[in-house]
Amino acid sequence: MHSPAIAIARTPLVAVYGTLKRGLRNHHWLNGADFVGTDVLTGVTLFDLGPYPGARLERSMGVEIEVFRVDAAGLKDLDVLEDYRVRRPASGTYDRVVHATAFGPAWLYLYNRDVAGCPVIREGGWQPRQSVI
């Protein structure tokens, strides 16, 4: 039997909850990735950071995610976008951990910075703010 980290290395799944979701501004980073489906995670809470959200491993009523299958090159690209530092994860903007989803274990980017004063999303999903002209 393989551990989740080994299994995911063969067919990496990534769970996204912010600007990488379909129809949002950074979804192009997932060009070539296969959309697997949507899920709701109750072990994750989102924080509205303004232009994007950050996730923390905290209980919630359920936050919405989308799951994609990416190749190794796609995962490396996402690491660059999310400022994930393989050798020193705590020093980057995000850390990357394996989290259970309805489709199996998936990589999930967790926010490393301070979230004090940020609006909390414990149910539903993050929505980009509308620009006022």
Do 66 and 19 contact (CB within 8 A), yes or no?
A: no
Structurally, what CATH architecture does the domain formed by 4-123 represent? Roll (3.10)
| Average pLDDT of the residues in 61-71 | 97
Rounded to two decimals, what is the model's pTM?
A: 0.89
pLDDT over 80 (residue 9): no
Q: What is the DSSP string of 27-52?
A: GGGGTTPEEEEEEEESS-EEEE-SSS
Residue boundaries of the structural domains of the chain: 4-123
Give the separation between CA 121 and CA 71, rounded to whole angstroms: 30
Q: How confident is the model over 71-128, as pLDDT tens digits?
A: 999 999 999 999 999 889 889 999 999 999 999 999 999 999 999 999 999 999 999 9
Which pLDDT score is estimated for 131?
56
Banded pLDDT at 129 (limits 50, 70, 90): confident
pLDDT over 90 (residue 130): no
Residue 48: half-sphere exposure toward Cβ, Cα within 13 Å: 12
Active site residues: 82
